[in-house]
Chain A
Amino acid sequence: MAILRTILAAGIAVAALCGAASTATAQETDQVGRQAYLDAVKGKKVIFIPISQGFDLNQAWVAVWQRHAARYGFSLEVRDPNGDTNAGIRAMQGAIAEKPDLIIVQNPDVQTYARLLKQAQQAGIKVLQVNMQSATQTDSYVGNDWIEMGKLEMGELAKTCTAPNAPSHKVVWLAGVQTGAANIYMRTGIDAVLKQYPQLQLVSDQPADYSSEKARQITETVLQQHPDLCGIMGIWDNAEVGAGAAVAAAGKQDQVTIVTNGAGSDTGCQSIKNGLLDVIFNFNAPVQGEIAAQQISELLQHPDHKAGSEKTIFFGPVTRVDKNNATGRNCWKIDELK
């Protein structure tokens, strides 16, 4: 929780500094800029359009934002399209028509909302994108550097699978969906590492569609073809448990290294403890939520800034979690965030 507090403090500090600049004549009894900040965010309307609220990372973000909304009196509405792209487009159109002060969006892929995001910006609505980017850049993006994520994961496999005692140089990339921003960018990172280690052999790269059963099926089939497989990398801990199950069923847990990334929820840590996963690059969704919360407060505080006039990006921290540190704040539970 120390990190959360630090980031929160940093956010408030930034807010206070901005406030101080504009309200130099604040009353002495009041903390400098405090009242201006509270007035600026109070009663503002924020709409969040996720891919689906069923994901652990989304639940963490919303838990964090709702805490901020309750504290400062802005409203946060979640319009959940539940994984349906068409419903997502309708939700976006609806949100634009309502003219909120801020739209937060988690893009299902790079194209779907690209034009709508442009429309929103033209209509003067500020847009914050979280973790999944669109082809259209808006006021702010908070989330992963997915190219770095691809490099981290494949780099981890490169380290293991080019070692002298590695079973082979064969690795597998279990993607999510091919058009997703995370997939496209991760692939760039992966290719960079593969270029650096030409001896690595990518024997299979198929999207498992974020499904653990599909990941299990692909892994089981690939293991038959390449019994000396060295490593598997994926995109979501909750899907790669399927790959882990296939490796465990083949009795190859010591041979095959499974690397993936995740929001850092306790279920991921349990999967590491159960031997289904080896390494999770944890992007800690609650911390991501706090960083996004800072962006929310910044965007709400400056209604005079034109939507889309400044474009900022912040990549959150990533922690490498294996069985040695799968504890404490690397394994959050949603109830602890509320």
Chain B
Amino acid sequence: MTSANQRAGAIRGGMPRKPIKISQEKVVIGISVVLFSIFSIVLDKFLSEGNIIALLKNVSILGTLAVGMGLVVVGRGIDLTMVAVMVVGVAFSIWVSSLGIDFTVAVLIGAVLVALIGLFTGVMIAFAEIPPIFATLAIASSIYGTGRIIFPSDVLYAPNNVGWLKWVGSGTLFGIPASVLIFGIVSVTMGLFLRKTRFGRLVYATGDNPNAARNMGLPTRPIIVTQYIISALIAFIAGLIMTGLVTGINTRIYNSSLIYDVLLVVVLGGIGLSGGQGGVRNVIVGTILVGILTNGMTILNVSYTNQNLIKSVILLTALAIDAIINPRDEQTSQTGDI
């Protein structure tokens, strides 16, 4: 219980962390700083303003998705539908617009569809009580499969005369690319939502101990359903960023390792899969480490396959360091740990 109390205290900001406690988040920050320094020294132009912006831009989609995943994981769930929802939601909007409907209206229709998918996922998990990992795995396949039947092709191009979509792809504000800005807005909103609203606190309570939360009379089921609706909508936003950046969407991304990269960012940043801990800051820390790694390796001309290998080794290292520094025992481990 002490650790839970500490955590709760730390979250409220009322109780200072013990100075000797080195969390996983700090391990990851440490690794990021080391890598950043090495790349800055070894790689010419790594430290340039342009490259830092490129680095952030390249992780904006991953980061946005990870914020949504972070919310669900804090609530002791997991949402493997995010990439499917992202590609199918946006592809659906493009498909609707190809029927002669204005693209902006089509995007709103897509958003409604995506929210309904999130609602369905949430209901399956909260009311039908299917474990989230299985429910979302199955629903992800169904969503993607349905998309494959409806859409004529894997790659769908958005109409190229939509002003706001162009801005999402190439617009800037004070030198910051729109995609990074959107990632920032989503992160800040989610951060405030989790920290400052009553609903946010309930997400932590549900994630930390769902049974206790329910016994206390908290509406745990509606809370869970809402989480999945929000994560679906965030996935849709990430899809719109991608469409803006590359003028279309390739639904085949569903088959890539993207969903695991999203999970990697969340877990790497220090949001435990057992729920009730961590926040948006952890997601940002994880995202930035992956961003530094990918950027540095791309400059070093490391092949994609080897990049994935190195990325996984770094993840494993971060988790191993954390396991050594913060060993699990009866007090710190929770039921539901994966």
A99 to B52 alpha-carbon distance, docked (Å): 58
Residues on the A chain within 8 Å of B248, using CB:
212, 241
- Find out whether the CB atom of A245 lies under 8 angstroms from the CB atom of B250: no
Which of A117-125, A203-211, A308-316 faces chain B?
A203-211
Selected contact of B303 from candidates A56, A178, A241, CB within 8 Å: A178
**Residue pair A207, B253 in contact (C-beta under 8 Å):** no
A 32-64 to B, binary, CB cutoff 8 A, 1 in contact else 0: 000000000000000000001011100100000
How far is it, in angstroms, between the C-alpha of A19 and the C-alpha of B188 when the chains are bound? 74
- State how many angstroms separate the Cβ of A85 from the closest Cβ of chain B: 11
Q: Are A54 and B252 in contact (CB under 8 A)?
A: yes
Question: CA–CA, A216 to B169, complex, Å?
Answer: 11
What count of chain A residues pass the 8 Å CB interface test? 44
Expressed in whole angstroms, the Cα–Cα distance for A334 and B152 within the complex equals 9
Contact across chains for A224 and B253 when beta carbons are under 8 A apart: no
- Contact B157 A270, beta carbon cutoff 8 Å: yes
Q: Out of A178, A209, A222, which one reaches B298, CB within 8 Å?
A: A222
Per the bound structure, the CA–CA distance linking A55 and B255 in Å amounts to: 14
In the assembled complex, how far is the CB of residue A261 from the closest CB belonging to chain B, in whole angstroms?
Answer: 15
Which residues, 179 to 223 on A, are CB-close (under 8 Å) to B?
Answer: 203-218, 220-223
Complexed CA–CA distance, A271 and B158 (Å): 12
Cβ contacts under 8 Å, A215 to chain B: 246
Known interface pairs A208-B304, A210-B252, A217-B58. Does A224 touch B246 (Cβ–Cβ under 8 Å)?
A: no
CA distance A56 to B50 in the complex (A): 36
With A213-B246, A217-B298 given, is the CB distance from A249 to B153 under 8 Å?
Answer: no
Among B58, B247, B251, B305, the residue within 8 A (CB) of A220 is B58
Tell me which of A55, A59, A178, A224 has the highest count of chain B C-beta atoms within 10 A of its own C-beta. Answer: A224
**Chain A CB within 10 Å — which of B157, B160, B299, B304 has the most?**
B304
Q: Are A238 and B160 in contact (CB under 8 A)?
A: no
Contact with B along A97-136 (1 / 0, CB 8 A): 0000000000000000000000000000000000000000
B301 pairs with A204, CB closer than 8 A: yes
A248 beta carbon closer than 8 Å to chain B: yes
B298: nearest residue on chain A (CB-CB)?
A221
**Main DSSP-derived SS at the A contact region:** helix
Does B155 have its Cβ within 8 Å of any Cβ on chain A?
A: yes
Q: Say yes or no for B124: interface residue by CB 8 A criterion.
A: no
B residues contacting the other copy or chain, number (CB 8 A): 40
In the complex, B44 has a CB within 8 A of chain A: yes
Q: A56-B153, A206-B303, A225-B299 are in contact. Are A211 and B160 (CB under 8 A)?
A: no
Contact B304 A209 (CB under 8 A): yes
Taking CB atoms, residues of chain B closer than 8 Å to A218 are 298
A-B contact count (CB 8 A): 110
* Chain A min CB distance to B141 (Å): 11
- Chain A residues with Cβ under 8 A from B48's Cβ? 224
Q: A52-B252, A178-B303, A224-B45 are in contact. Are A242 and B157 (CB under 8 A)?
A: no
A94 on interface, CB distance cutoff 8 Å: no
Q: How far is the CA of A213 from the CA of B153 in the complex (A)?
A: 17
Known contacts A216-B245, A216-B246, A221-B54; is-contact A55 B303 (Cβ 8 Å): no
Q: Give the docked Cα–Cα distance between A293 and B180 (Å).
A: 49
**Quick check: B298 and A207 within 8 Å, CB to CB?**
no
Within 8 A of A (CB), among B295-317: 295, 298-299, 301-305
- Interface flag for A83 (CB, 8 Å): yes
Q: Is A82 an interface residue (CB 8 A)?
A: yes
Minimal beta-carbon separation of A187 from chain B (angstroms):
12
Cβ A207 vs Cβ B45 within 8 A:
no
> Given A204-B301, A206-B301, A213-B242, are A245 and B148 neighbors across the interface (CB < 8 Å)?
no
| B333: A residues at CB distance < 8 A | none
Contact of A245 among B54, B152, B245, B304 (CB under 8 A): B245
Give every chain A residue within 8 A of B247 (Cβ-Cβ): 241, 245, 271, 274, 276
Tell me the complex Cα distance, A302–B44, Å.
63
Q: Mask for B246-266, Cβ within 8 A of A = 1, else 0?
A: 111011110110000000000
Q: Is the CB of A221 within 8 A of B295?
A: yes
The answer to the question of A77 belonging to the interface, with a C-beta cut-off of 8 Å to chain B, is: no
CB distance from B333 to the nearest CB of A (A): 35
- Assess the B169–A206 pair: CB atoms within 8 A: no
State A212–B243 Cα separation when bound (angstroms): 10
CB distance from B261 to the nearest CB of A (A): 12
- B246 contacts A178, C-beta separation under 8 Å: no
- Complex contact A59–B153 (CB within 8 A): yes
Assembly CA distance A210 to B253 (angstroms): 10
Q: Which residues of B contact A93 (CB under 8 A)?
A: none
Given contacts A248-B170, A249-B170, A334-B152, whether A213 and B245 have CB atoms under 8 Å apart is yes
A221 touches B304 (CB 8 A): no
Q: A160 to chain B: which residues have CB within 8 Å?
A: none
Please encode chain B, from 149 to 186, with 1 for each CB lying within 8 Å of some chain A CB and 0 for all others: 00011110100100000000110000001000000000
Contact partners of B255 in chain A: CB under 8 A: 82-84
Q: Is the CB of B61 within 8 A of A213?
A: yes
Kindly state whether residue A267 has any CB partner on chain B within 8 Å.
yes
**A residues at B contact (CB < 8 Å):** 52, 54-56, 59, 82-84, 178, 203-218, 220-225, 238-239, 241-242, 245, 248-249, 267, 270-271, 274, 276, 334
A sample of 19 more A-B contacts (CB under 8 A), given A203-B301, A213-B245, is: A54-B155, A82-B255, A178-B304, A205-B301, A206-B301, A207-B305, A209-B256, A212-B155, A213-B246, A213-B253, A215-B246, A216-B246, A221-B299, A222-B299, A224-B48, A225-B45, A241-B246, A242-B245, A245-B170
Cross-chain pairs A/B with CB under 8 angstroms, 15 sampled: A54-B148, A207-B304, A208-B304, A212-B246, A213-B61, A221-B54, A222-B298, A224-B45, A225-B44, A225-B45, A239-B250, A241-B246, A245-B245, A245-B247, A271-B247
